[in-house]
Amino acid sequence: MKTTEHLLTCLIEECAEVQKHATKALRFGLEDRDPTIPNSQTESELIEYELDDLRAVVEMLTAAGVIHGWPSWRRVDAKKEKIREFMEYAQQTGALEKA
Ligand SMILES: [Mg+2]
């Protein structure tokens, strides 16, 4: 395995860890903690932790020249707008509560 492949594997792992804690937060709540571990972190804290891990990998991918031009604030802003549009649509269909 080469460095690029190793870093891409790390990227996949960190995305999966974010997914894991996001789904646990949906199932048990953002403030839920692992009941088998005393004083464990909340799902909200674990999502933040994994997003930091993900950012670290993305920065390493950038430093290694695997990806370029990240982040694109234009794309970030465009994505936010798209999400807002679909939230409005979901409210219209009744799938999403109105705020
Ligand atoms: Mg991690």
Mind listing the pLDDT tens digit for each residue in 44-79? 999 999 999 999 999 999 999 999 989 999 999 999
What's the 50 CA to ligand 1 centre distance in angstroms?
A: 5
Mind listing the pLDDT tens digit for each residue in 1-36? 999 999 999 999 999 999 999 999 999 999 999 999
Mind listing the pLDDT tens digit for each residue in 32-42? 999 999 999 99
**Is the Cβ–Cβ distance between 6 and 31 less than 8 Å?**
no
What's the 12 CA to ligand 1 centre distance in angstroms?
A: 10
Tell me: pLDDT of 93 over 90. Answer: yes
What's the 79 CA to ligand 1 centre distance in angstroms?
A: 24
